[in-house]
Amino acid sequence: MPIFFDTHAHLDYPDYAPDLPEVVARAQAAGITKIISIGTSLDGSERAIRLAEKFQNVYAAVGWHPTEAEKAPSDLRPALREFARHPKVVAIGETGLDYHHLPNGTPVSRPAIKGDATKHAGLETGAPATAADNERYKQKQADIFQQQLEVAAEFGLNCVIHQRTAFDDTIAQMKPFIGKTRGVFHCFGETVARMKQVFEIGSLVSFTGIVTFKNAQNVRDCVTAAPLDKFMLETDCPYLAPVPYRGKRCEPAYVKEISEMVAQVKDCPLETLSAATCRMALKFFPKLNG
Ligand SMILES: [Zn+2]
Protein backbone atom coordinates (compact mmCIF):
# COMPACT_ATOMS: atom_id res chain seq x y z
CA MET A 1 0.00 0.00 0.00
CA PRO A 2 1.41 3.43 -0.92
CA ILE A 3 2.24 5.51 2.17
CA PHE A 4 1.29 9.17 2.59
CA PHE A 5 1.55 11.83 5.31
CA ASP A 6 -1.02 14.36 6.43
CA THR A 7 1.16 17.45 6.80
CA HIS A 8 -1.62 19.72 8.13
CA ALA A 9 -4.30 18.56 10.56
CA HIS A 10 -5.97 20.20 13.54
CA LEU A 11 -6.32 17.18 15.79
CA ASP A 12 -6.58 19.36 18.91
CA TYR A 13 -9.92 20.82 17.78
CA PRO A 14 -13.00 19.80 19.79
CA ASP A 15 -14.36 18.06 16.67
CA TYR A 16 -12.18 15.06 17.57
CA ALA A 17 -12.84 14.96 21.30
CA PRO A 18 -15.26 12.01 21.06
CA ASP A 19 -13.11 9.63 19.00
CA LEU A 20 -9.54 10.80 18.42
CA PRO A 21 -7.89 7.37 18.98
CA GLU A 22 -10.17 5.92 16.28
CA VAL A 23 -9.39 8.83 13.93
CA VAL A 24 -5.65 8.22 14.36
CA ALA A 25 -6.10 4.46 13.91
CA ARG A 26 -8.12 4.94 10.71
CA ALA A 27 -5.31 7.09 9.29
CA GLN A 28 -2.79 4.36 10.05
CA ALA A 29 -5.03 1.74 8.42
CA ALA A 30 -5.36 3.92 5.30
CA GLY A 31 -1.55 4.16 4.96
CA ILE A 32 -1.32 7.71 6.34
CA THR A 33 1.65 6.96 8.56
CA LYS A 34 2.55 10.44 9.86
CA ILE A 35 0.30 13.34 10.85
CA ILE A 36 1.37 16.88 11.77
CA SER A 37 -1.10 18.51 14.15
CA ILE A 38 -0.96 22.27 13.70
CA GLY A 39 -1.28 24.79 16.52
CA THR A 40 -3.18 28.05 15.99
CA SER A 41 -2.57 29.59 19.45
CA LEU A 42 -0.24 28.91 22.38
CA ASP A 43 -2.87 26.76 24.10
CA GLY A 44 -3.57 24.92 20.85
CA SER A 45 0.14 24.43 20.23
CA GLU A 46 0.53 22.93 23.68
CA ARG A 47 -2.39 20.59 22.97
CA ALA A 48 -0.72 19.56 19.70
CA ILE A 49 2.45 18.70 21.62
CA ARG A 50 0.50 16.60 24.13
CA LEU A 51 -1.07 14.69 21.22
CA ALA A 52 2.36 14.13 19.70
CA GLU A 53 3.47 12.67 23.02
CA LYS A 54 0.44 10.41 23.17
CA PHE A 55 0.39 9.09 19.61
CA GLN A 56 3.56 7.74 18.04
CA ASN A 57 2.64 8.81 14.48
CA VAL A 58 1.53 12.36 15.43
CA TYR A 59 3.90 15.37 15.35
CA ALA A 60 3.28 19.03 16.18
CA ALA A 61 3.71 22.48 14.65
CA VAL A 62 3.55 25.41 17.07
CA GLY A 63 2.37 28.90 16.22
CA TRP A 64 -0.34 31.54 16.20
CA HIS A 65 -2.85 31.93 13.36
CA PRO A 66 -3.08 35.39 11.72
CA THR A 67 -6.86 35.63 12.05
CA GLU A 68 -6.43 35.33 15.82
CA ALA A 69 -3.72 38.00 15.87
CA GLU A 70 -5.57 40.49 18.07
CA LYS A 71 -5.72 37.91 20.88
CA ALA A 72 -1.99 37.20 20.74
CA PRO A 73 0.36 38.34 23.51
CA SER A 74 2.76 41.09 22.44
CA ASP A 75 5.70 38.67 22.33
CA LEU A 76 5.13 35.04 21.35
CA ARG A 77 8.81 34.22 21.14
CA PRO A 78 9.60 33.00 24.68
CA ALA A 79 6.75 30.47 24.62
CA LEU A 80 7.51 29.34 21.08
CA ARG A 81 11.19 28.83 21.89
CA GLU A 82 10.20 26.62 24.80
CA PHE A 83 7.93 24.56 22.52
CA ALA A 84 10.41 24.42 19.64
CA ARG A 85 12.91 22.44 21.72
CA HIS A 86 10.50 19.53 21.95
CA PRO A 87 11.72 16.56 19.85
CA LYS A 88 8.36 16.19 18.09
CA VAL A 89 7.85 19.87 17.21
CA VAL A 90 8.66 19.82 13.51
CA ALA A 91 7.69 23.35 12.39
CA ILE A 92 6.53 26.83 13.36
CA GLY A 93 2.96 27.76 12.40
CA GLU A 94 0.47 28.13 11.30
CA THR A 95 1.45 31.70 10.72
CA GLY A 96 1.20 34.20 7.89
CA LEU A 97 -1.17 36.99 6.84
CA ASP A 98 -4.92 37.04 6.23
CA TYR A 99 -6.68 40.21 5.04
CA HIS A 100 -9.92 38.51 4.08
CA HIS A 101 -11.91 39.95 6.99
CA LEU A 102 -10.48 43.33 7.87
CA PRO A 103 -12.08 45.31 10.70
CA ASN A 104 -13.85 47.82 8.48
CA GLY A 105 -15.04 45.20 6.09
CA THR A 106 -13.20 44.03 3.01
CA PRO A 107 -13.49 43.10 0.22
CA VAL A 108 -14.36 46.71 -0.53
CA SER A 109 -17.72 45.76 -1.99
CA ARG A 110 -18.82 44.74 1.52
CA PRO A 111 -20.12 47.54 3.72
CA ALA A 112 -18.64 48.04 7.17
CA ILE A 113 -20.48 45.83 9.64
CA LYS A 114 -20.30 46.95 13.22
CA GLY A 115 -21.02 43.64 14.93
CA ASP A 116 -19.45 40.74 13.14
CA ALA A 117 -16.35 42.20 11.52
CA THR A 118 -15.29 44.47 14.37
CA LYS A 119 -15.78 41.69 16.91
CA HIS A 120 -13.75 39.34 14.74
CA ALA A 121 -10.83 41.71 14.89
CA GLY A 122 -11.16 41.97 18.66
CA LEU A 123 -11.97 45.66 18.51
CA GLU A 124 -14.24 47.50 20.89
CA THR A 125 -17.79 47.58 19.67
CA GLY A 126 -19.51 50.94 19.33
CA ALA A 127 -17.65 53.10 16.86
CA PRO A 128 -17.49 51.75 13.31
CA ALA A 129 -14.07 50.47 12.35
CA THR A 130 -11.92 52.75 10.25
CA ALA A 131 -9.05 52.46 7.82
CA ALA A 132 -6.74 53.07 10.79
CA ASP A 133 -8.22 50.01 12.51
CA ASN A 134 -7.42 48.00 9.39
CA GLU A 135 -3.84 49.16 9.49
CA ARG A 136 -3.52 48.35 13.18
CA TYR A 137 -4.93 44.85 12.56
CA LYS A 138 -2.55 44.24 9.65
CA GLN A 139 0.37 45.50 11.71
CA LYS A 140 -0.44 43.11 14.56
CA GLN A 141 -0.54 40.22 12.08
CA ALA A 142 2.79 41.31 10.62
CA ASP A 143 4.33 41.60 14.11
CA ILE A 144 3.44 38.06 15.18
CA PHE A 145 4.36 36.69 11.73
CA GLN A 146 7.78 38.31 12.10
CA GLN A 147 8.26 36.83 15.58
CA GLN A 148 7.40 33.36 14.28
CA LEU A 149 9.80 33.68 11.33
CA GLU A 150 12.52 34.71 13.77
CA VAL A 151 11.99 31.72 16.07
CA ALA A 152 11.89 29.39 13.07
CA ALA A 153 15.21 30.77 11.82
CA GLU A 154 16.77 30.48 15.29
CA PHE A 155 15.82 26.82 15.58
CA GLY A 156 16.44 25.82 11.97
CA LEU A 157 12.77 24.97 11.53
CA ASN A 158 10.52 25.71 8.57
CA CYS A 159 7.13 27.42 8.71
CA VAL A 160 3.56 26.47 7.90
CA ILE A 161 2.13 29.48 6.09
CA HIS A 162 -1.51 30.55 5.99
CA GLN A 163 -2.13 33.28 3.43
CA ARG A 164 -5.42 34.74 2.29
CA THR A 165 -5.87 37.91 0.21
CA ALA A 166 -2.38 38.92 1.35
CA PHE A 167 -0.10 37.13 -1.09
CA ASP A 168 2.32 39.95 -1.99
CA ASP A 169 2.80 41.07 1.61
CA THR A 170 3.41 37.47 2.72
CA ILE A 171 6.10 36.94 0.09
CA ALA A 172 7.67 40.34 0.90
CA GLN A 173 7.86 39.57 4.61
CA MET A 174 9.47 36.18 3.97
CA LYS A 175 12.12 37.39 1.53
CA PRO A 176 14.59 38.61 4.19
CA PHE A 177 14.49 35.08 5.66
CA ILE A 178 15.67 33.35 2.49
CA GLY A 179 18.41 30.95 3.51
CA LYS A 180 17.22 30.99 7.16
CA THR A 181 13.74 29.48 7.04
CA ARG A 182 11.27 28.39 4.36
CA GLY A 183 7.51 28.06 4.25
CA VAL A 184 4.94 25.64 3.00
CA PHE A 185 2.04 27.69 1.62
CA HIS A 186 -0.65 25.39 2.86
CA CYS A 187 -4.02 24.82 1.18
CA PHE A 188 -2.65 26.38 -1.97
CA GLY A 189 -5.39 27.85 -4.15
CA GLU A 190 -3.73 30.64 -6.08
CA THR A 191 -2.59 30.82 -9.71
CA VAL A 192 0.29 28.92 -11.30
CA ALA A 193 2.18 32.22 -11.65
CA ARG A 194 1.93 32.86 -7.91
CA MET A 195 2.95 29.26 -7.19
CA LYS A 196 6.14 29.98 -9.12
CA GLN A 197 6.75 33.04 -6.92
CA VAL A 198 6.51 30.73 -3.89
CA PHE A 199 9.10 28.39 -5.41
CA GLU A 200 11.36 31.34 -6.22
CA ILE A 201 11.78 32.17 -2.50
CA GLY A 202 12.60 28.52 -1.78
CA SER A 203 9.19 27.70 -0.33
CA LEU A 204 6.77 24.90 -1.18
CA VAL A 205 3.02 24.43 -1.47
CA SER A 206 0.62 21.80 -0.21
CA PHE A 207 -2.74 20.69 -1.53
CA THR A 208 -5.92 19.75 0.36
CA GLY A 209 -9.18 18.00 -0.54
CA ILE A 210 -10.15 21.08 -2.54
CA VAL A 211 -8.32 19.39 -5.40
CA THR A 212 -11.30 17.00 -5.66
CA PHE A 213 -13.89 19.80 -5.85
CA LYS A 214 -15.55 20.31 -9.20
CA ASN A 215 -15.04 24.10 -9.17
CA ALA A 216 -11.33 23.92 -8.28
CA GLN A 217 -9.73 23.75 -11.71
CA ASN A 218 -7.17 26.40 -10.68
CA VAL A 219 -5.93 24.06 -7.94
CA ARG A 220 -5.69 21.15 -10.41
CA ASP A 221 -3.78 23.45 -12.78
CA CYS A 222 -1.31 24.12 -9.97
CA VAL A 223 -1.01 20.37 -9.30
CA THR A 224 -0.25 19.81 -12.98
CA ALA A 225 2.37 22.56 -13.00
CA ALA A 226 4.03 21.73 -9.67
CA PRO A 227 7.22 19.63 -9.94
CA LEU A 228 7.04 16.43 -7.86
CA ASP A 229 9.67 17.79 -5.48
CA LYS A 230 7.84 21.02 -4.68
CA PHE A 231 4.60 20.01 -2.96
CA MET A 232 3.11 17.97 -0.14
CA LEU A 233 -0.35 16.68 0.72
CA GLU A 234 -2.58 17.61 3.66
CA THR A 235 -6.19 17.58 4.79
CA ASP A 236 -6.50 20.79 6.90
CA CYS A 237 -8.99 18.66 8.81
CA PRO A 238 -11.58 19.05 10.29
CA TYR A 239 -12.18 21.31 7.28
CA LEU A 240 -12.26 20.62 3.54
CA ALA A 241 -13.15 16.93 3.37
CA PRO A 242 -12.52 15.64 -0.17
CA VAL A 243 -15.20 14.15 -2.41
CA PRO A 244 -17.01 11.81 -1.58
CA TYR A 245 -16.99 13.12 2.02
CA ARG A 246 -17.39 16.78 1.08
CA GLY A 247 -19.27 18.75 3.75
CA LYS A 248 -18.62 16.15 6.46
CA ARG A 249 -15.96 16.25 9.18
CA CYS A 250 -12.61 15.65 7.50
CA GLU A 251 -9.87 13.43 8.98
CA PRO A 252 -6.29 12.41 8.11
CA ALA A 253 -7.33 9.07 6.54
CA TYR A 254 -8.80 11.07 3.64
CA VAL A 255 -5.32 11.93 2.36
CA LYS A 256 -5.89 8.67 0.51
CA GLU A 257 -8.66 10.23 -1.63
CA ILE A 258 -6.58 13.40 -2.08
CA SER A 259 -3.55 11.38 -3.22
CA GLU A 260 -5.64 9.43 -5.72
CA MET A 261 -6.92 12.65 -7.33
CA VAL A 262 -3.47 14.24 -7.37
CA ALA A 263 -1.96 11.12 -8.97
CA GLN A 264 -4.70 11.17 -11.60
CA VAL A 265 -4.18 14.88 -12.36
CA LYS A 266 -0.40 14.41 -12.58
CA ASP A 267 -0.87 11.20 -14.55
CA CYS A 268 1.67 9.40 -12.38
CA PRO A 269 1.52 6.14 -10.39
CA LEU A 270 0.48 6.42 -6.74
CA GLU A 271 3.80 4.83 -5.76
CA THR A 272 5.69 7.66 -7.46
CA LEU A 273 3.57 10.29 -5.71
CA SER A 274 3.99 8.50 -2.40
CA ALA A 275 7.78 8.40 -2.70
CA ALA A 276 8.03 12.03 -3.84
CA THR A 277 5.69 13.62 -1.28
CA CYS A 278 7.05 11.63 1.67
CA ARG A 279 10.64 12.41 0.67
CA MET A 280 9.71 16.11 0.43
CA ALA A 281 8.03 16.15 3.84
CA LEU A 282 10.96 14.39 5.54
CA LYS A 283 13.35 16.89 3.99
CA PHE A 284 11.22 19.93 4.79
CA PHE A 285 10.40 18.80 8.35
CA PRO A 286 13.65 17.01 9.36
CA LYS A 287 12.35 16.20 12.87
CA LEU A 288 9.64 14.03 11.23
CA ASN A 289 12.36 11.39 10.86
CA GLY A 290 12.50 11.01 14.65
ZN1 LIG B 1 -4.93 25.00 9.27
pLDDT the model gives residue 252: 98
pLDDT the model gives residue 290: 76
Ligand 1 center to 162 CA (angstroms): 7
pLDDT the model gives residue 118: 39
Ligand 1 center to 127 CA (angstroms): 32
pLDDT the model gives residue 119: 41
Ligand 1 center to 109 CA (angstroms): 27
Q: Which residues of the chain have a pLDDT value below 70?
A: 105-127
Ligand 1 center to 110 CA (angstroms): 25
pLDDT the model gives residue 127: 67
Please write the tens of the pLDDT for every residue from 99-137: 998 887 644 343 444 344 434 444 445 567 888 989 999
pLDDT the model gives residue 130: 86
Ligand 1 center to 10 CA (angstroms): 7
Ligand 1 center to 169 CA (angstroms): 19
Ligand 1 center to 68 CA (angstroms): 12
Residues 6+ apart with CB under 8 A from 127: none
Please write the tens of the pLDDT for every residue from 230-264: 999 999 999 999 999 999 999 999 999 999 999 99
